[in-house]
Amino acid sequence: MLTMPEINRIRKLREKKGLAIAEIARKTGYNWRTVKKYADGNTFARQKIKPKKGMMEEEGYGQIIDDWLEEDAKLLRKQRRTNKTMFETLQRNHGFKGSYRTVCAYIQKRRPQLKLEKEQRYERLEHPPGEAQVDFGKMTVVTKEGKEEERSVLIISFPYSNAAFAYPLPAENNECFLHGLTQLFRQAGGVPKVLRIDNLPAAVSSIQKRGGRQYTEAFQKFQLYYRFDVQACNPYSGHEKGNAERKVYYTRNLCFVPAPLIESDSELTNWLHRKMVEDRNRLHYEKERMIEELWQEERSELLALPEQDLPIFSLDHAYVNKYGEVTVDGEAFVIHGLSVPNRVLVKKEWDRFFVLSPDGDVHFEAPRPYTNVKREIPWKEIFAEWAVKPRVVEYSRFRAYLPESIQTYLRVSSCEVSSRLKGLRVLLDRCTLYEIAQWLKKKQRWDLAPHEIGVLMEAEHSHYPAKWEEAYTPSVLVDYETDLTVYDQRLHPVKEGGWQDEHRDKRDL
């Protein structure tokens, strides 16, 4: 008895290819009578269903347990029901009168059967050159400060040659995804004809009823600009881009186990590119040829790159609240110099964002919060606002961010606070707030004006020129110490018992 895929193959060879019965028998290896029966007849393979007996099948308890087993298969093992839990639930909620042994025997029989029924038969696909698959993978790196950080590494693989390229990114949003694809196309030296992706939110906005995809507007523009076709995988069907899935796992073991120590993201990008290029110097897992050789063949099939990269950014409207804050990526940023409330335009790139004025000028620029880049607080602008309203200092949320010594330095009257803030604002042109705070903490000079602090700080950092070496002094005079007693006797004879003491003694006589 043939399976349905085998019957379907015989039907296709007969109906679509137009092969004779004898030719189909030679290709498939089946008897010509069997081939004729399924190619031209109306007989289909029938499955003999044996009647199920027992209270688990007849009374429907088995179907309940089947549902539980399928449900638990999607959970972590420690979150799944135990046999005892299922037995007690059947007794409590479904009136089960059987024994615990009956439930255990049924579970032991049905669990492998359900797993086997769930497995699907996949046809081995032949990938022509020029087709690629893409996927994200979470990788761990170690910074020079000794802290672990996660990177989302975008990997593009070419199944024909098994070559791959990787690019680290701070997030998996729309801008990062398209920027990463642009850099991967540059590394590959061309654009794949077909790109297979899963249902990434950065590219797919919705899945329609009949399997269609609604792509984001930014991804549609990107696809049109680079001229490649897209194939989206079915939901929960990672095997449809198995080469990329496997390449993510392989890249993690090759490059990120153990986690590499990096100095900067640019260094990580260059190092990762070198590793992926070096990895091509090995045999293909099936074709018994070098991956580098196969890649050079496949590279000629790629589409040409445009002369210029497509600018990747998005524009969103944002509102400036009554506190002068604009929310970007869930984090509030204080924008100085804008009337509140107000409406502004925010331009987002993959690593930075810009707040644009109504005229299109850049009013504020900062790294996006997820890039883990430390942002400097604009103390000069804050001090300027505080100087106008010195009473605000005590209640401002920025006061908690000041170093402790600066907070102590500003605990004076309102009039003096204003002058000190203006002086500190000028002093920030020459040194950082951290340096000022360290000097105040060390010297404890809370009475000085800001300009006096600046003078003393510069004096500490200034150095006298080094002593010149000279060879004209006689060796007898080197390290010679002068006896100053003789000079004291000449300059102060009274103190030293000189001639004035002698004349005073004669007058007394």
> Domain holding 218: CATH number?
3.30.420.10
Structure tokens that stand for 307 in this block = 């002369």
Domain assignment present for 469: no
Of 202, 204, 213, nearest to 312 by C-alpha is: 202
Are 233 and 190 in the same domain? yes
Q: What is the enclosing helix (H) or strand (E) of 434?
A: helix 433-443
Quick check: 229 and 194 in contact, CB under 8 A? Answer: yes
Are 106 and 157 in the same domain? no
Are 162 and 279 in the same domain? yes
Are 88 and 113 in the same domain? yes
pLDDT given for residue 74 in this prediction:
60
Give the chain's domain count. Answer: 5
Beta strands at 163-169 and 194-197: parallel, antiparallel or unpaired: unpaired
Domain assignment present for 359: yes
Residues 6+ apart with CB under 8 A from 200: 136, 172, 177
Are 167 and 294 in the same domain? yes
Structure tokens that stand for 258 in this block = 């153990």
Domain assignment present for 33: yes
User: Could you tell me where the DSSP H helices lie in 16-118?
Assistant: 21-28, 32-40, 55-58, 61-72, 83-94, 100-118
Domain assignment present for 46: no
Are 357 and 270 in the same domain? no
Quick check: 430 and 406 in contact, CB under 8 A? Answer: no
Alpha-carbon span 455 to 439, nearest angstrom:
12
- Count CA atoms closer than 13 A to 389's CA, side-chain side: 8
Interhelix angle 21-28/32-40, nearest 10 degrees: 120
Are 143 and 264 in the same domain? yes
Domain assignment present for 389: yes
pTM, to two decimals: 0.54
pLDDT given for residue 357 in this prediction:
76
Residue-wise pLDDT tens for the chain (509 aa)? 677 777 877 877 877 777 888 888 888 888 888 888 877 765 544 444 455 567 787 788 888 898 888 878 766 677 788 999 999 999 999 888 889 999 999 999 888 888 777 654 444 456 788 899 999 998 888 776 656 788 899 999 999 899 999 999 988 889 999 999 999 999 999 999 899 888 888 888 887 776 678 888 899 899 888 989 888 877 666 566 778 888 888 898 888 887 888 888 889 999 999 999 999 999 988 888 899 999 998 888 888 888 889 999 988 888 888 888 888 888 888 887 777 778 888 999 988 889 887 777 888 888 888 776 445 677 888 888 888 888 888 878 677 778 888 888 988 888 888 898 999 989 988 888 888 888 998 889 888 898 888 888 888 776 555 566 666 777 777 777 777 777 777 777 665 455 455 455 545 54
Domain assignment present for 474: no
Are 227 and 361 in the same domain? no
User: Could you tell me where the DSSP H helices lie in 279-349?
Assistant: 291-299
β-sheet bridge partners, residue 133 = 157, 196
For the chain, the first-to-last Cα distance in angstroms comes to 155
Q: Which domain holds residue 24?
A: 4-40
Domain assignment present for 80: yes
Are 239 and 114 in the same domain? no
Cα-trace Rg, the chain: 40
pLDDT given for residue 154 in this prediction:
93
- Whether residue 341 is preceded by a cis peptide bond, meaning omega within 30 degrees of 0, is yes
Structure tokens that stand for 404 in this block = 């402790």
pLDDT given for residue 126 in this prediction:
64
Are 149 and 263 in the same domain? yes
Are 227 and 294 in the same domain? yes
pLDDT given for residue 494 in this prediction:
65
Domain assignment present for 307: no
Are 435 and 451 in the same domain? yes
